[in-house]
Amino acid sequence: MTSNNIIDSDEDDFGTRPPFFNGEKYYIWKHRMQIFVQGTDFDAWKALEHGPFVPIHIVDGFTKPKPKSEWTNDDKKKVHPDSRAKHLISCALCNDEFSNVMYCETAQKCGILCEIFMRELVK
């Protein structure tokens, strides 16, 4: 039985899960994903656009990343939006597409690689 109610539709269930990308119509998915991530967690969107917060030490005037074992609770809160964005992206991709980005360390790198792979397919 088909439903005319968009909320019940598997294709447009944007309220609880990200729009699914199966390798087709990338630019439509990209726009829907932008809306979904911004609506879910705007800080995650900022991490996706601008890169993650990286906890650092300043030693002798030079900065270096802190080891995870030294992160404070505040550091963890600031890093969380990138993890959230990576989670949202990974839930939105089919296995074939996920295999292209699964080793990315940041959400921003996932987004960049998605864009690169889609540009290659369009050629």
pLDDT score for 123: 56
Tell me, yes or no, whether 23 lies in a domain. no
- How confident is the model over 23-66, as pLDDT tens digits? 888 889 999 999 999 999 999 999 999 999 999 999 899 999 99
Tell me, yes or no, whether 118 lies in a domain. yes
Tell me, yes or no, whether 7 lies in a domain. no
DSSP E strand boundaries for 1-123: 56-59, 62-65
Q: How many domains does the chain have?
A: 1
Domain residue limits at 117: 44-123
- How confident is the model over 63-118, as pLDDT tens digits? 999 999 999 999 999 999 999 999 999 999 999 999 999 999 999 999 999 889 88
Tell me, yes or no, whether 11 lies in a domain. no
pTM of the model: 0.79
Tell me, yes or no, whether 93 lies in a domain. yes
Phi, psi of 45, rounded to the nearest 5 degrees:
-65, -40
Tell me, yes or no, whether 19 lies in a domain. no
Tell me, yes or no, whether 32 lies in a domain. no
Tell me, yes or no, whether 78 lies in a domain. yes
